Structure 1
Amino acid sequence: MPDYPSRTQRILSRIEQLAAISEDPDGTTVTRTFGTPAFVRGRDLVQSWFEAAGLKVHLDGIGNLRGRWASQRPGAKTFVLASHIDTVVNAGKYDGPLGVIMALNLVESLMEQGSTLPFNLELIAFSDEEGVRFHTTYLGSKVVTGAFDPATLLRTDAQGITLAQAIADMGGNAAQLATDALPPTEWLGYFELHIEQGPVLWESGVPVALVTALAGQQRVELTWQGMAGHAGTVPMAMRQDALAAAAEFILAAEAFALHHGQRLVATVGQLRIPYSASNVIPGQVVHSLDLRSPDAGQLATAYADLQARAEAIATRRDVALDWQLIQATAPVTCDPELNRLLGQAIAASGHEVVGLVSGAGHDAVPISAVAPATMAFIRCYKGISHNPLENVEPADVAAALEVAEGFLHRLITAHS
């Protein structure tokens, strides 16, 4: 009888060890953004666990940690278990790393059971999913799927360091990125375990859910260019206040999303005022806009409508507007056959089969373009994520571990 509670304690112990590695010098918060020394130290720790498990391990050009268990079957395809080990700033412990460490535990268990694989298993800890440092997500999985755009190498971080330089600084090799991809013909499928990052499972008490789809996303950078001036001498009616224009748009975006229901969300999460001072009318404001919906048509309509509203505000307030699309991803539907097997595993473990649409982006988005993909969500404390309060209950992790193991056994049987 599998001892899922004991295995869960091992998983959570590893989570704590990894969380102790952070860019924060006093260790009070968890931050490991792509390519930083803290990220590399964390990846080295995870690599030691991969190697101890007996996987054939290597680092690819962009710093993905990849561990392979090869099948003895000639011409076998590859099934990928993965999540990411980079974090946002001031993060929780579980977003990404929990999926990697749980997948490693599943591989260790299959090896201990003497399982014979009809396909290759590749365990991947993606180097960058969050996109914090270079403001573009899925760098790791785009390399593995062959979707990486070489122009991205010229992007710079807040210190002016290019992505190409960051890759070199961490010991990677930008020249080999094109050859690091797993060809589409070699993929069997993809499975990721991840905390829900939402409150549905927490409120219902169900420990694990089947992900049916992932929302599409549009990321925009808006720059409002007005005229800086003295706060005490320029009359209100004569001002070209960039911040007032940006503020009007931000509230308009919020009202638009509220009006259009639960299938659309709009967020402004970053705002920068260059040369700001309390006695200066803001002359320039730069901010983000993040639009998400599982409905491609609704997403396109919202994008066009909000761009038109922004332009109207700029015209009326006599400020210039630069609207730059930074990233666009289409909604993704998870693979029906993999979801059928995952649903069977959930039911066999005695849980209600709950289907959820993910509002968060995940590496399954680029991977779905080349391979069948599915995900399982794990209940997390009040749905809180991207926050130090992020947490999980051991019983929920144990339940998800049992479900995932049941899924993999069904997958092995289906391809034997």
Structure 2
Amino acid sequence: MDDNYTSRAEKILRRIEALAAISEDAQGVTRTFGTPAFLQGSALVKSWMDAAGLSTHIDSIGNVRGRLVSRQAGAKIFVMASHIDTVVNAGKYDGPLGVLMGLDLLEQLVQHAVELPFHVELIAFSDEEGVRYHTTYLGSKVVAGSFDQNLLTKTDAHGIPLSQAITTMGGNVQTLAADAIAADQWLGYFETHIEQGPVLWENRIPVALVTAIAGQQRVELTWHGMAGHAGTVPMDMRQDALAGAAEFVLAAEQFGVANKNELVATIGKLDVRNSASNVIAGEVVCSLDLRSADAARLATAYEELREKAQAIAQKRQLTLDWNLIQYTAPVSCAAEMNTLLAQAIGEAGHDVVQLVSGAGHDAVPISAVSPATMLFIRCFKGISHNPLENVEVADVAAAVQVSERFLQLLFSHYQHSLSN
């Protein structure tokens, strides 16, 4: 690997460490939307953008935005982006790596005084993870013009509505629509991200081309039984909500294993209401996260699991509330941009590995208004949303080289199309 790319990768990782030092807790990395730690991290990222010579601002949803302006008349906008919010007790790289790689690319454009055929904007999205308000993609939905105004009344665990959080951050709920990039102004979207899976790690491949992003359906299930004394209610006369939920946990796992080539199914949250060791559970809430790159299979799997849950509830004399929290359709990355990105990967000397992302990304809402493409970077054992999350310098350097070549190809391709 060229020493230049290695030194640039090392600089990116030093910035990762500086950003990771800003957290809501001292033991790990936690920066959730709108918190003091989040605002401090945003200010640091903006200062780096300012130092690079970008035209910067923080919009009303808290996205940090920096732009290099083209002198081309009627220039469109090419966006490079990822997010800087985190889950609780997160790793350092999920999101910020893509932002800081984008910053490195723009610094190079400035240093070499590259004549831009279109505007290039770098965005550090404010809320992709959706931890605080259980709403993913707040930042990117504002930029895409698809923000749901009804979310402004949604409250966090402390009863603070989203509208108040935006105001506290210095934003204005009245100007959210104005922060969108109009659909006819988009030229394209590029996001780099750790893979969050083990394929690249196991095969010692530094980067991969993302062909699609799996669709998601998130459900909240509430199991209602009858609370009772653990010592006095006979086993065959119980309406145990926890036993019903537990049976569904295993049923969902078995369903996922049986259909492992098409989908994944996860129960990641279980809340036993008014729990005690000597009380039969009367109410239990659990989650269901269902994902597939095939929209039709996602829909049928959703109904199959719903039927399984209802059958379990009926058998155990429970009642079940099934509440769909989120639906996101599968997204295919843009063929033309993927062709250029695949060319860049090959020219950098790597095999062109194609992957479907099981995780959601800001590319999902952006793809509704712009051609989008993504590059995955190898990460340690595929671990993500975990303090063990890590990357190697050589893999980041390879991703920098590929991304830079992709931009060069995009510039040439766009200039050629203009001349024709």
Matched, 1:267 2:287: no
Which runs of 5 or more residues in structure 1 are unaligned? none
Matching of residues 11-30 of structure 1 within 5 Å? 11-24=12-25, 27-30=26-29
Q: Secondary structure at the match of 1:201?
A: helix
Match of 2:133 in 1: 134
> Letter of the aligned partner of 2:30 in structure 1?
T
Q: 2:8 — aligned with what?
A: 7
Could you say which residue in structure 1 is the equivalent of 2:337?
338
Paired with 1:262 and 1:45, the residues of 2 have a C-alpha distance of: 42
* Structure 1 residue 30, shift from structure 2 partner: 0.6
Asked if the contact 1:136–1:326 (Cα under 8 Å) also holds between the matched residues in 2, the reply is no
The one-letter amino acid paired with 2:335 is P
Note if 1:38 corresponds to 2:33: no
- Worse-matched range after superposition: 218-227 or 392-401: 218-227
1:185-334, aligned counterparts within 5 Å? 185-334=184-333
Secondary structure of the residue that 2:386 maps to in structure 1? coil
1:263, CA displacement in angstroms?
Answer: 2.2
Distance of 1:152 and 1:340 partners within structure 2: 37
Give the distance between the partners of 2:335 and 2:71, measured in 1 at CA: 28
- Provide the residue aligned with 2:388 in structure 1: 389
1:173 to 2:179 alignment: no
Distance 1:87 1:189 in 2: 25
Secondary structure at the aligned position of 1:377 is classed as strand
The alignment yields a C-alpha RMSD, in angstroms, of 1.1
Structure 2 segments unaligned to the other structure (5+ residues): 416-420
2:6 maps to amino acid: P
**Secondary structure at 1:362's aligned position in 2?**
coil
Between the aligned partners of 1:165 and 1:225, the Cα distance in structure 2 is: 34
Match of 1:148 in 2: 147
CA distance in 1, matches of 2:80, 2:191: 6
d(CA) in 2 for partners of 1:259, 1:182: 43
- Match of 1:47? 46
Aligned partner of 2:381: which letter?
K
Q: Secondary structure at the match of 2:157?
A: coil
Partner AA of 1:97 in structure 2: P
Equivalent residue, structure 2, for 1:157: 156
Task: Give the deviation of 1:227 after TM superposition.
Answer: 1.6
CA displacement 1:176-207 (0-9 Å, x = unmatched):
11221111100000000100011111111111
Q: Which amino acid in 2 is paired with 1:169?
A: T
Instruction: Please give the per-residue CA displacement for 1:201-226, whole angstroms capped at 9, x wherever unaligned.
Output: 11111111111111111011111122
TM-score using structure 1 length = 0.98
Residues of 2 paired with 1:29 and 1:137: CA distance? 22
| Residues 13-22 or 163-172, more deviating | 163-172
Q: CA contact under 8 A between 1:274 and 1:284: conserved in structure 2?
A: yes
C-alpha deviation, 1:235, in angstroms:
1.6
Cα deviations by residue, 1:322-342 (Å, 9 ceiling, x for unpaired): 111111111111111101111
Deviation, structure 1 residue 2: 7.2
Contact 1:134 1:157 in 2 (8 A): yes
Measured in 2, the distance between the counterparts of 1:274 and 1:151 equals: 29
Say if 1:106 and 1:2 are closer, same or farther in 2 by CA, change over 3 A. farther
Compute the displacement of 1:160 (Å): 2.1
SS at 2:188 equivalent: strand
Q: Say whether the 8 Å CA contact 1:93–1:388 is kept in structure 2.
A: yes
Q: Distance in 2 between matches of 1:269 and 1:348?
A: 41
- Between the aligned partners of 2:242 and 2:55, the Cα distance in structure 1 is 53
2:98 alignment partner AA: G
Question: Secondary structure of 2:355's match?
Answer: strand
Matches within 5 A, 1:356-395: 356-395=355-394
Q: Which amino acid aligns with 1:348?
A: E
State the distance in 2 between where 1:309 and 1:137 align: 27
Q: Are residues 2 and 119 of structure 1, via their aligned partners in 2, closer, same or farther at CA, if it must alter by over 3 Å?
A: farther
Q: Deviations over 1:114-145 (max 9, x none)?
A: 10111111100000101111112111111110
Residue 162 (structure 1) shift: 1.7
SS at match of 2:176: helix
- TM-score under structure 2 length normalisation: 0.97
Please list the CA deviations of residues 260-298 of structure 1 after superposition, one character each: whole Å capped at 9, or x if unmatched.
122210011111122111111111111111000011111
Distance in 2 between the 1:78 and 1:189 partners? 7
Q: Describe the superposition over 1:335-359 as per-residue Cα deviations: whole angstroms up to 9, x where unpaired.
A: 1110111111111111111111111
The worse-fitting range, judged by mean Cα deviation, of 57-66 and 97-106 is 57-66
Percent identity reads: 68
Residue 169 (structure 1) shift: 2.1
* Residue pairs, 1:56-95, within 5 angstroms: 56-95=55-94
Residue 408 (structure 1) shift: 0.4
Deviations 1:96-116 (A, max 9, x none): 000000100000011111101
Aligned partners of 2:267 and 2:165: how far apart in 1? 27
Pairs aligned (count): 414
**Secondary structure at the counterpart of residue 208 of structure 2:** strand
| Separation (CA, whole Å) in 2 of partners of 1:239 and 1:168 | 50
